[in-house]
Structure 1
Amino acid sequence: MNKSLFVIILLVLAVVGLYSQEQTWQAKIIDINAYLETNPSDTAARTALAYYYMMNNQPLLGLREYRVVVEADSSKTDAQAGILWALNSMEQYKTTIKLAHDLLQTYPEIAAIHNLVAFAYLKKQDTTIARYHYKMASDEAGHDLLARQTALEGLGWTNMLLDNTARALQYYSKAQSLNRVDIYGLTRLNTPRFTTAFSYSVPDSTGKAYRVSQSIRYRTWKADLAVDEFQLNNKHFRTIYMANLTKQFSTLQTGLHYAYADGNDARVYPASNIGLSVAPMLYYRSTLMKLDQSVNMAHYERFNGYQYSITPSLRRGKWQTAYTYSYHYQDNEAVGADTSKAIHRVQLSRTMYKGSELGLYGGYGDTAWTVDNYLNLTDAFDAKSKYFGCSLFVPLGDMIELTQYNEWGYSADWQYLFYLKLAIRY
């Protein structure tokens, strides 16, 4: 058969199928409306009518009928949930959230209400709050397999968005065991995902840096490779090669990090750094708590550096805050010349429109020869002793992401740093 003809036949069959389905719901609507003309107080029939309207893509009419049922009997929790369903269908998520909170004061055990308000929070990008309500729905679902599966898939999706792939896999697998069909989120996590990134930064008036990185993520594993080239007065000065490997567990993330640097300054290069990190994580209701800890050991030509960092962080809804304390000990070649110092850093960020994120940063303490929160070596004698900055992260569709960072830091005087990163996911 001609391929074009085959495609046309498939399209015709699809249209016919949709039309037939629409006619089926419309026929049911006509029949039940006729029945309600003589039995207007039959709330079960009116609830069914509301459902038929919803399935026929008429949420405004469905909302009207669900409200009639609730006005007649406010204990009809299926109709209460139907109102939330209709509001979500019309993208009235803020109204859904307000109404659901009132309902949950009276009916905290209704899984459908938790599932529907979780979806509204998810669409409003309040991911940790959505995860909490999906968890409540899972706990309260009992023998309601549809509510349980919806909750488990929601838990998988929200944990994936919160970068907890190990727990996401657990929930997706449970959801699939209830209904033997392919689940998009599980298929996605079981498929290797790649990210190629390019960045450009201008740390001061005489230098600039270029970086290319490649990462692969598969299930709970992630591997990264990167090359960072720094130029001084438009001439090569230093190159850093970096490799990171991370492994996630349901309540823990571990990492192994290595960097090798070579450059023109014989007092410093070649240099290397190896680091280990561990980050336990815990959910408390709608708050995600993490405690990142890392140990780094660096070797330069004339000294060694040892650093311990701890970063407690909280995330709830659109907001995230973190504080980092780092202790750095420098073992210098000269006898009796060893030094130590403390570095402090704070961060506050908020999710904005369509997944974009605005971040504010500040820190103080001599950062020379230290490793920052993003595993970057600060290989400079005159690094900043205090700084503040702001960042903007913007996703452009499903594949492209832009990150722009501005920093004003003080060493001998105030300096401006510009950073731009383009990431392509596939």
Structure 2
Amino acid sequence: MKQILFTLILLLPTLCFGQNASPHLHDLRMRVAQNPADTTVRLEYAYQLAIANELDQAMQNYETILLQDPDNVSAAEGILWVLQSRGSYEQSIARAQSFLLKQAQSSAIAAYLAYGYSKTDRHLASLNSYKKADELAETPVQTDIAQNGLLWAYIYLHNYPAAQRLLKPRQHSEDSAARQILEARHVTMNLDFHSDYKDLNGIGLSASLTTTHATLSAKAEELILSGKRFREQYGLSLSLANSFAKAGASHSILRGIDKRIYPASTSAASISGILYWRNLEINPMLAAAWGKFQRLDTQQADIGLKILSDKWLIAYWLSNMYVDQEIVGSDSSKTLHSLQAGYKVFTNTRLQAYLFLGNQAWWLSPYQVIYDEYDANDKAIALSLCQKMSDRIYAMVYHQIGFFENEAQHSSSLNLSYSF
């Protein structure tokens, strides 16, 4: 429904060329034959051919007009219309980019470029181009096309507050699909299995409920050591978001058989910005965490930065920790570094690499993993492969090699996610 709506809206500039009701195609063909240099008649002829689904002939005539008049915006729009009607989105992107070199002030061409990006899952680039289309809009129709595109770009980027902000002043009937998405309650279930290939295995289950401005999550995890229950964890988290930032808080309790450590608890709070610049999303982040274990307490402060494009992402976190030991004079502080880089190798597949530097004992990672142990890795490298199986199902395989006293320790996990 959304795709049909998009196509109809993007055709509006072509339908609004200012042409009158068309004569018969045969009459137009005769008029073009009699006066091939008349671009106005040929433009009407190409338009009627496209309406009649004679796309090859329509393209030939639009191309002929551009040869006669390279600055003819209507012919350029017609070419983009035909290409996108064929489903040739990559070609339409290349042509739109070349047209904008000459017609940099064309809102319609910018909108066609944005739609091509959207259909090829480049939603940050689509957002940027729709913003340009909105800035360049000279008519209410062009403004409506650009803002409708922005609305859906924010939805695809899961920035529901920004989409809601655009939707509020709009009362169009075609917005019903977007309104339904924004008013829905989205539930995600996650199942996680992990193992160190020796004697430690774990299983975790989590669920989250997302609305336009909030996400509430709960999780439970069980660690099995040498076939016996070793440690269990239960946690709750809440995050609130607007168009420009997201703030969150979480709390976990841990129970286990090691009386030096458990029972224990951890709490965390974070805030991150949501900035868009050109074809990038930029997320600066601040976080703090507190841990209370049987023989020690921890305090942690984090600062981070994540930069995403439609193809790649890179993120860095700096963590400073203070460990308050029970034994007098044994307190310590340390610094940890986390680096993540990812690349979309296929439309639904992302490969990511990770590097962790610093002793991880008692650390709460940027991914909310608690390293509740005395002998933790000093550094680690990891790879993950994320695969979108369907519109509702995601899978991630993760493998890590940690190093403790120069000895490599392997561990892997499999995460399955289902949304509805």
- Name 2:408's counterpart in structure 1: 414
Q: Is residue 188 of structure 2 the alignment partner of residue 195 of structure 1?
A: yes
Distance 1:352 1:27 in 2: 50
**Cα pair distance change 1:43/1:27, threshold 3 Å:** closer
Distance 2:361 2:24 in 1: 73
Counterpart among 366, 371, 374 of residue 359 in structure 2: 366
- Name 1:103's counterpart in structure 2: 99
- Name 2:381's counterpart in structure 1: 388
Distance 1:314 1:182 in 2: 31
Q: Check whether the contact 2:244–2:273 (CA below 8 A) recurs between aligned residues.
A: yes
SS in 2 for 1:301: coil
Q: Check whether the contact 2:22–2:44 (CA below 8 A) recurs between aligned residues.
A: no
Q: Is residue 65 of structure 2 the alignment partner of residue 69 of structure 1?
A: yes
Counterpart among 204, 228, 241 of residue 235 in structure 1: 228
Counterpart among 231, 243, 253 of residue 250 in structure 1: 243
Counterpart among 289, 299, 302 of residue 282 in structure 2: 289
- Name 1:424's counterpart in structure 2: 418
1:48-87 to structure 2, matched below 5 A, reads 48-87=44-83
**Shift in Å, 1:130:** 1.6
Q: Check whether the contact 1:157–1:168 (CA below 8 A) recurs between aligned residues.
A: yes
SS in 1 for 2:362: coil
Q: Check whether the contact 1:26–1:56 (CA below 8 A) recurs between aligned residues.
A: no
Distance 2:358 2:23 in 1: 73
**Cα pair distance change 1:61/1:160, threshold 3 Å:** same
Q: Which amino acid aligns with 2:92?
A: T
Identity over aligned residues, as a percent? 25
Distance 2:163 2:24 in 1: 39
SS in 2 for 1:262: strand
Q: Which amino acid aligns with 2:410?
A: Y
**Cα pair distance change 1:119/1:385, threshold 3 Å:** same
- Name 1:112's counterpart in structure 2: 108
Q: Which amino acid aligns with 1:131?
A: L
**Shift in Å, 1:131:** 1.1
**Cα pair distance change 1:54/1:380, threshold 3 Å:** farther
Distance 2:400 2:103 in 1: 49
- Name 2:148's counterpart in structure 1: 153
**Shift in Å, 1:326:** 0.6
Counterpart among 7, 28, 36 of residue 32 in structure 1: 28
Deviations 1:126-159 (A, max 9, x none): 32222111110011112242x3222222222222
Distance 1:58 1:303 in 2: 76
**Cα pair distance change 1:334/1:28, threshold 3 Å:** farther
Distance 1:203 1:168 in 2: 43
Output the aligned Cα RMSD: 2.0
Distance 1:262 1:216 in 2: 26
**TM-score, scaled to structure 1:** 0.88
Deviations 1:303-357 (A, max 9, x none): 1111111111112231111111111111111111111111101111112323321
Q: Check whether the contact 1:172–1:183 (CA below 8 A) recurs between aligned residues.
A: no
- Name 2:397's counterpart in structure 1: 404
Q: Is residue 157 of structure 2 the alignment partner of residue 162 of structure 1?
A: yes
1:171-186 to structure 2, matched below 5 A, reads 171-174=166-169, 176-177=170-171, 179-186=172-179
Q: Which amino acid aligns with 1:100?
A: A
Q: Which amino acid aligns with 1:389?
A: A
**Cα pair distance change 1:199/1:59, threshold 3 Å:** farther
Q: Check whether the contact 1:223–1:243 (CA below 8 A) recurs between aligned residues.
A: yes
Distance 2:174 2:266 in 1: 47
Q: Which amino acid aligns with 2:287?
A: S
Q: Check whether the contact 1:258–1:273 (CA below 8 A) recurs between aligned residues.
A: yes
Q: Which amino acid aligns with 1:160?
A: I
**Shift in Å, 1:49:** 3.1
SS in 1 for 2:274: strand
Counterpart among 35, 42, 48 of residue 38 in structure 2: 42
Q: Check whether the contact 2:71–2:103 (CA below 8 A) recurs between aligned residues.
A: no
**Shift in Å, 1:204:** 4.8
SS in 2 for 1:196: strand
SS in 1 for 2:347: helix
Counterpart among 86, 89, 96 of residue 93 in structure 1: 89
Q: Is residue 206 of structure 2 the alignment partner of residue 210 of structure 1?
A: no
Q: Tell me, which stretches of 5 or more residues in structure 1 are unaligned?
A: 1-24
**Shift in Å, 1:59:** 3.2
Q: Tell me, which stretches of 5 or more residues in structure 2 are unaligned?
A: 1-20
Counterpart among 116, 136, 141 of residue 132 in structure 2: 136
**Shift in Å, 1:125:** 2.8
- Name 1:352's counterpart in structure 2: 345
Q: Which amino acid aligns with 2:157?
A: L
Distance 2:50 2:295 in 1: 72
Distance 1:66 1:220 in 2: 46
**TM-score, scaled to structure 2:** 0.90
**Cα pair distance change 1:31/1:404, threshold 3 Å:** farther
**Cα pair distance change 1:60/1:409, threshold 3 Å:** farther
Q: Check whether the contact 1:125–1:318 (CA below 8 A) recurs between aligned residues.
A: no
**Cα pair distance change 1:55/1:213, threshold 3 Å:** farther
**Cα pair distance change 1:424/1:317, threshold 3 Å:** closer
**Shift in Å, 1:26:** 11
**Cα pair distance change 1:58/1:144, threshold 3 Å:** farther
Distance 2:353 2:48 in 1: 49
Q: Check whether the contact 1:293–1:311 (CA below 8 A) recurs between aligned residues.
A: yes
